[in-house]
Amino acid sequence: MTDVPPAANPRPGARIRLLEAALRLVRERGYAATTVEDLCTRAGVTKGAFFHHFASKEALGVAAANQWTTNTRAFFAEAPYRAHADPLERVLGYLDFRKAILRGELPEFTCFAGTLVQEVFGTSAPIRTACEASITGHAAEVAADIAAAMERHGVRAGFTAESLALHSQAVLQGAFILAKATGRTDVAVESIEHLRRYVELLFQPTARERKDPP
């Protein structure tokens, strides 16, 4: 369960390498199919080191999900679309950015949390919770921009910023599944383009509203 590095400053050693191995291997082969020895081999450490840093394979799963949360938060915080002043442009820029990063092999750009939780939601509550936090936490950041855009531009009623943000995560997760099933990236790209068009339509003022601005 617990796993936080013990206070001090352990040089980037076995622990972080094991977490990075997990981030990669689980997306490549899945959680159950990734053995502890696979992880050790990839990280270049021994089994002794693994169980020194993690109480169990499940504990590593939780720690890796938390690591994913940290990594993605930093990654999107630094992304260029964040610089837009208009929140609607940040929302659309986010979707363009998500589309642009679909490069390379599937395990490089798919979502670790989504992959993992799909497999273990029924068998490991701690991992499920960590993955849920990762996904809903990211959605909350997107929701903040959506809420600001709704405030600034007004919008066709009938939904909340939170639900649209979660919907965008659903589209992305589903796009990854389609890409895995077909082996093609362009189906994922097209799905994100549909989502972008949806957001544009939602924020496009109606004829009535254009004549009669707030």
Do residues 82 and 91 lie in contact, with contact meaning Cβ atoms separated by under 8 Å? no
Identity of the residue numbered 93: G
| Of the candidate residues 3, 19, 41, 56, the single one contacting DNA (CB under 7 A) | 56
Task: Write the binding mask 11 to 50 for a second copy: x where contact by CB under 8 A, - elsewhere.
Answer: -----------------xxxxxx-----------------
**Span near DNA by CB under 7 A; candidates 28-36, 135-143, 154-162, 191-199:** 28-36
157 is a site residue for a second copy (CB under 8 A): yes
**Span near a second copy by CB under 8 A; candidates 38-46, 87-95, 140-148, 177-185:** 177-185
Structure tokens belonging to residue 135: 């996904």
State how far the alpha carbon of 18 is from the alpha carbons of 9, 44, 52, 101, in Å. 17, 8, 12, 24
Structure tokens belonging to residue 31: 């959680």
Closest CA to 22 of 112, 84, 111: 112
Site residues for DNA per CB under 7 A? 5-6, 8, 10, 13-15, 34-37, 45-49, 51-53, 56-58
